Structure 1
Amino acid sequence: MRKRVLPLVALAVLTFVAAPAAADHPGCAPAAAASTSAASVKVWLAGDSTMADPKSGCPVGWGNQFDTLFKDDVTVVNNAVAGRSIQTWLYESNVKSTKDSAGECVVSPRTFHQRWLTMLDPTNGMKAGDYLMIQFGINDGDPNCPRHVGGARYKELLAVMAKAAKDRGVTPIFLTPVSAIKCSGSSAVGTRGFLTETADAGRAGGVTVIDLHKLSYMLYNTLKLCPNDGDYTKGAVGAFFCNDHTHFEAAGARQIAGVVAKALRDQRIPLAGYLR
């Protein structure tokens, strides 16, 4: 039976940090011990539409397909929201349409949206032993406010989220943004930014980084989704993507979720101990 994915409470090559040892993951046991632990664990997801639960048949974010890859003692809480940058996800309705002298969108008041406050709540939110997976970097590249986020601000906000997680004994994991499908001849190539910023934030904060951007376009090459004439309604690319170059059908989301799960194992991240 499919485990229940909890809804949002109260509303909804780069050099990366090597997977930290178990001692660097507060409240977490090594992978081998994790697989036999009787304690329940929650995996909290924060991101955009490529991670979010669907509102209709398509798009389907990979986070929607993630829980079935875990044993029954894990619950995935998908708080990803379509169309958000990291800043609008954190400060929804407080991000203005104007920029300050540094070129960043004005945030006033600097108070968190309820989705993040709920995750920080000591009773209903993240607890020691849980994991927080953060994937933004798609909408953040918008030149216009409120979604626009500059590189320095992006790293700052990743650090804010990671510290809040660590303060609660939760293990944060950063992911680079999943790639859209773009063909250069017969090869799929990368399409996203904020790759260096994500790596830098991981190094600075001692947070493991999964390079989902690279892993996703490598998957597209394995599946031979290129060359493509731009028609996303037919063939293998039509089965993987919605009628665009970015969002996933359920089958595509399932494969991206599988790529993330494989990265957990390959990078020896303790959460891998809970995978089926």
Structure 2
Amino acid sequence: MKWLPKISLLAAMTTALACAPVAFATGAHAATTRYEVESAPATCAGLIESNHAGFSGSGFCNADNASGAAAQFTVTAPAAGAATIAIRYANGGTSDRPADVLVNGTVAHPGSAFDPTGAWTTWVTKTLTVSLNAGDNTIRLNPTTAAGLPNIDYLETGAPASATTTVWLAGDSTVAANSGGNIVGWGRELGAYLTGDATVVNSAIGGRSVQTWLYESAVTGTKNSAGECVLSSTAYAARWQAMLDASSGMKAGDHLFIQFGINDGSSTCPRHVGSARYRELLTTMVRAAQQRGAHPTLVTPVSALSCSGGTATPTRGFLTETFDVGRATGAPVIDLHKLSYTLYNSLRLCPFNGDYSSGPVGAFFADDHTHFEAAGARQIAGLVATAVRDQRLALSAYLR
């Protein structure tokens, strides 16, 4: 616990606090702007104190020891897009004090960890990447446990002038770079829509459900009493281990796009994944990204071409489950399923005579109704990029 009772040592000090944010030029980085928590319009659901040395400005926020006792900042962005925020805090307790980080009322980083710093006079900086609107934005630190927040000193905004990001892709053959022959996934084409500051690492692989992607050969052909495929080992496949690697894997400000659901509906193992297990595994991936300060984005499975008369119709499952995970974790969801069959209709790919080798269908799909040739994959990647911009996701700062 923090020292109780809370006695504000600022009572004898002047109440005329500086309200204007302060801009700092930091070497090779773009100018950052500091927002002191004791300066309006910032708010603190507790007391502004100065009894622990090392803080900046005239004090820090010692919020009430309660869930929801928040500190909130109003920050100004010159343009819409991704921005780095740095939160300076001290946690002299022995336990994490997690908080949801909300941007303009929407949870951007749920349950973000504010780990112990060793002493209330030991101040550290937690860095996250968020998506801001042009103009004023609210950033709220909302504690999720009865312990409340750590002591909050200030929040800085700004990004390095040469900020780079990595876009990690996890999915099946419709995302993979190449699954043999002329089959190309949209993940191979996504880089064409991004600036040179974004690097795509495509770890999607054909034929995988979310479980076989995560565990590969550890998924056996036997089902347990719950109807789920038995794992012979809980060790992750190398592709996921690489993303989780502390030194070379996902880092703060990176992006993880996850698209499964096409192979998961198989009735037999190893591909089979039930609804509850699908939610569980997607949640595991989303949380892992969030814990590293990366931005996870869920993508519903891209539609195959199925025609009813002259209209392309929905073909995939696991849509509800994907949206459920998005709501539960705060991760955004791109409904590529709907976007894709809507695109097929705009291109008038239906009706057709079953020949996938000629005409507009032949230019879009490989020799089936599911996989794409390069031209089709490029258009599907364009749908993803457009959704990123339309939904104002953090990756939009890296779109061409």
Q: Same fold (TM over 0.5)?
A: yes
> Equivalent of 1:172, from 282, 293, 296?
296
Mapping of 1:40-59 within 5 angstroms?
40-59=164-183
Q: What root-mean-square deviation, in Å, do the aligned CA atoms of Structure 1 and Structure 2 show? A: 1.9
Partner of 1:261: 385
Cα offsets for 1:139-175 (capped at 9, x unmatched): 0011100000000000000000011101100110000
TM-score by length of 2: 0.62
Distance 1:61 1:176, change over 3 A: same
Q: Is the 8 A contact 2:179 2:205 kept in 1?
A: no
> Equivalent of 1:24, from 108, 122, 139?
108
1 or 2, which has the higher strand percentage? Answer: 2
- Structure 1 residue 110: deviation in Å? 1.2
| Secondary structure, aligned partner of 2:242 | helix
Task: Pick the structure with greater CA Rg.
Answer: 2
| Secondary structure, aligned partner of 1:97 | strand
Q: Counterpart amino acid of 2:128?
A: G
Structure 1 distance, partners of 2:180, 2:325, is 34
| Secondary structure, aligned partner of 2:128 | coil
Partner of 2:234: 110
Partner of 2:203: 79
**1:151 to 2:252 alignment:** no
| Secondary structure, aligned partner of 2:175 | coil
| Secondary structure, aligned partner of 1:140 | coil
Q: Counterpart amino acid of 1:184?
A: S
Q: Counterpart amino acid of 2:131?
A: P
Q: Which fold has the larger relative contact order, with Cα–Cα distance below 8 Å and residues 6 or more apart in sequence? A: 1
- Structure 1 residue 23: deviation in Å? 6.3
Q: Is the 8 A contact 1:34 1:270 kept in 2?
A: no
Q: Is the 8 A contact 2:108 2:130 kept in 1?
A: no
- Structure 1 residue 68: deviation in Å? 1.4
Partner of 2:341: 217
Structure 1 distance, partners of 2:305, 2:158, is 36
Q: Counterpart amino acid of 1:76?
A: V
Q: Is the 8 A contact 1:35 1:274 kept in 2?
A: no
Structure 1 distance, partners of 2:283, 2:236, is 15
| Secondary structure, aligned partner of 1:137 | coil
Q: Is the 8 A contact 2:365 2:372 kept in 1?
A: yes
Mapping of 1:113-132 within 5 angstroms?
113-132=237-256
Structure 2 distance, partners of 1:192, 1:172, is 22
Q: Is the 8 A contact 2:176 2:186 kept in 1?
A: yes
Distance 1:89 1:160, change over 3 A: same
Partner of 1:14: none
% same residue: 60
Q: Is the 8 A contact 1:20 1:208 kept in 2?
A: no
Instruction: List alignment gaps of at least 5 residues for structure 1.
Output: 1-18
TM-score by length of 1: 0.89
1 or 2, which has the higher helix percentage? Answer: 1
